[in-house]
């Protein structure tokens, strides 16, 4: 088994655990998915559609968690199409379910593919891949296949 095969296996296993942790299943609406993640991670979540994103660069979303208050907010661009906002929020839900986040200021993490970001450490790279795979699994639940959602972006 190559190192790449081993990473794919780890990412698949983490993605499976993350989706199972929330009990995400066909028939759920987006709000149902958010509530399922809330229950899984024991925090109250709110998705915030930000109108002023001038300083965001290529960033499409980020999550903030206030552990002492058991609350969190997922911020997405209000100017993005609804399905894209849901996908960006789903990526952040993936980070919450995986308990793995990238470090650095928000502007340092962006919509650039993790494959094209040489600054990511291996754990950060894997965390991004897991979050992206969780977002694709959520898209399948919501829309039948990721391509349905992607065609509207």
Lowest mean pLDDT among 8-22, 26-40, 67-81, 139-153: 139-153
**Residue 139: how many CB atoms within 10 A of its CB?**
20
Structural domains of the chain, count? 1
Reported confidence tier of residue 148, pLDDT bands at 50, 70, 90: low
Give, rounded to a whole angstrom, the gap between the first and last alpha carbons of the chain: 37
Average pLDDT on 81-106 reads 82
CATH number at residue 27: 1.10.10.2910
């Amino acid at each position: 088994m190559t190192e790449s095969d081993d990473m794919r296996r780890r990412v698949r296993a983490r993605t499976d655990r993350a989706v199972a942790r929330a009990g995400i299943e066909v028939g759920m609406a987006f709000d149902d998915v958010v509530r399922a993640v809330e229950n899984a991670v024991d925090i109250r979540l709110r998705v915030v559609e930000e109108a002023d994103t001038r300083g965001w660069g290529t960033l499409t979303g980020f999550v903030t968690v206030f552990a002492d208050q058991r609350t969190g907010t997922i911020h997405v661009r209000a100017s993005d199409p609804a399905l894209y906002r849901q996908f960006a929020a789903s990526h952040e839900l993936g980070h919450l379910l995986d308990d793995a986040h990238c470090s650095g200021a928000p502007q340092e993490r962006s919509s650039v593919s993790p494959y094209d970001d040489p600054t990511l450490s291996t754990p950060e790279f894997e965390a991004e891949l897991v979050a992206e795979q969780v977002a694709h699994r959520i898209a399948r639940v919501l829309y039948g296949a990721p391509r349905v959602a992607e065609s509207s972006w």
